[in-house]
Amino acid sequence: MSRLDPPPVNRRSFLSLASLGAFFAAMGTAAAGILRLPNPAVLPGPVRRFKLGPPEQFSAGSETAFAEQGLVLFRDDEGFYAISSTCTHLGCTVARSKEGFACPCHGSRFDSKGSVIGGPAPRPLPWLEVGRAANGDLIVNADNEVPEGTRYRV
The four Cα atoms 112, 117, 66, 78 give a dihedral, to 10 degrees, of 30
3-state helix/strand/coil string of 64-88: EEECCCCEEEEEECCEEEEEECECC
Instruction: Tell me how far, at minimum, the Cβ of 108 lies from other proteins, in Å.
Output: 9
Label residue 115 exposed, middle or buried (CB < 10 Å: 0-12, 13-18, 19+): middle
Cross-strand pairs, 86: 93
- In sign, the C-alpha dihedral spanning 89, 92, 96, 98 is negative
* Gap between the Cα atoms of 111 and 19, Å rounded: 64
If one asks whether residue 102 binds other proteins (CB under 8 A), the answer comes out as: yes
Min CB(35)–other proteins separation in Å: 9
Contact flag: residue 68 with other proteins (CB under 8 A): yes
**Of the candidate residues 15, 27, 67, 154, the single one contacting other proteins (CB under 8 A):** 67
145 counts as binding other proteins under rule CB under 8 A: no
- Does residue number 90 form part of the binding site for other proteins (CB under 8 A)? yes
By CB under 8 A, how many residues form the interface with other proteins? Answer: 29
Binding mask 24-53 for other proteins (x = CB under 8 A): --------------xxx--xxx--------
Q: Judge whether 81 and 130 are in contact, CB under 8 Å.
A: yes
Closer to other proteins by Cβ: residue 32 or 134: 32
* C-alpha distances in Å from residue 72, one per residue of 15, 90, 102, 106: 68, 19, 13, 20
According to CB under 8 A, which residues from 106 to 135 bind other proteins? 106-107, 115-123
CB of 88 to other proteins, least distance (A): 9
Site of interaction with other proteins (CB under 8 A): 38-40, 43-45, 67-68, 70, 89-93, 102-107, 115-123
